[in-house]
């Protein structure tokens, strides 16, 4: 598979979960495990561009796929707009749920566009649990990150057309 743009190859136990492969074989420990019931969303990564809970699939099921983890979002030492929005809006306390929240939020923008309203954010983040924040700042951060992603996209568009 490709992980964060790099080709990786390994022989794994057929029972190994994708989240275990990322954390244990590749040392990408930004993807967290917060439950054993597929409920918390701390393990969310992107698989071929869409959000998945990496504890709900086997590593072998990602054979040939492109996986992005939280470590793959920042580019050249610059935080992704959604990461920056969580920092700016204090969308975290302990930070344990944050990687999964951010990966889900980026997927949400890809599906609904940058003008996200609060109801859409709350409804679509129902697969991500936070034990600390009360969610208010997370929702604010996701809305701000979505807007920033839209602006970054607009800024890139003229350059892409050149
Ligand atoms: Fe995957 Fe909780 S660890 S949903
Ligand atoms: Fe602590 Fe969400 S910030 S679990």
Domain ranges of the chain: 2-72, 81-161
- Which residue of 35, 125, 130, 140 sits with most ligand 2 atoms within 8 Å of its CB, as the best mutation to test the pocket? 130
- Provide the pLDDT confidence category of residue 154 given band limits of 50, 70 and 90: confident
Q: Model pTM?
A: 0.95
Considering only the C-alpha atoms of the chain, give the largest distance between any 2 of them, rounded to a whole number of Å. 49
Domain 81-161: which CATH number of 1.10.8.640, 1.25.40.10, 3.40.50.10090, 1.10.150.120: 1.10.150.120
pLDDT at 88: 98
Give the angle 90-93-95 at the CA atoms, nearest 5°. 105
pLDDT at 100: 98
- Which residue of 86, 90, 94 sits with most ligand 2 atoms within 8 Å of its CB, as the best mutation to test the pocket? 94
What DSSP designation does 21 have?
I
Looking at domain 2-72, its CATH superfamily turns out to be Beta-grasp domain (3.10.20.30)
């Amino acid at each position: 598979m490709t992980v964060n743009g790099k080709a990786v190859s390994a022989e794994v136990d057929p029972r190994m979960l994708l989240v275990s492969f990322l954390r244990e074989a590749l040392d990408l420990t930004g993807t967290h495990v917060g439950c054993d019931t597929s409920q918390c969303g701390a393990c969310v990564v992107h698989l071929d561009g869409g959000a998945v809970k990496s504890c709900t699939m086997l590593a072998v099921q990602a054979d040939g796929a492109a996986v992005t983890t939280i470590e793959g979002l920042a580019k050249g030492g610059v935080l992704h707009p959604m990461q920056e929005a969580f920092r700016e809006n204090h969308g975290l306390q302990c930070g344990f749920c944050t990687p999964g929240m951010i990966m889900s939020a980026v997927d949400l923008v890809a599906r609904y566009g940058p003008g996200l309203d609060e109801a859409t954010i709350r409804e679509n983040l129902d697969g991500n649990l936070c034990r600390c924040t009360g969610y208010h700042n997370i929702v604010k951060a996701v809305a701000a990150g979505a807007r920033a992603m839209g602006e970054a996209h607009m800024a890139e568009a003229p350059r892409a057309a050149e």
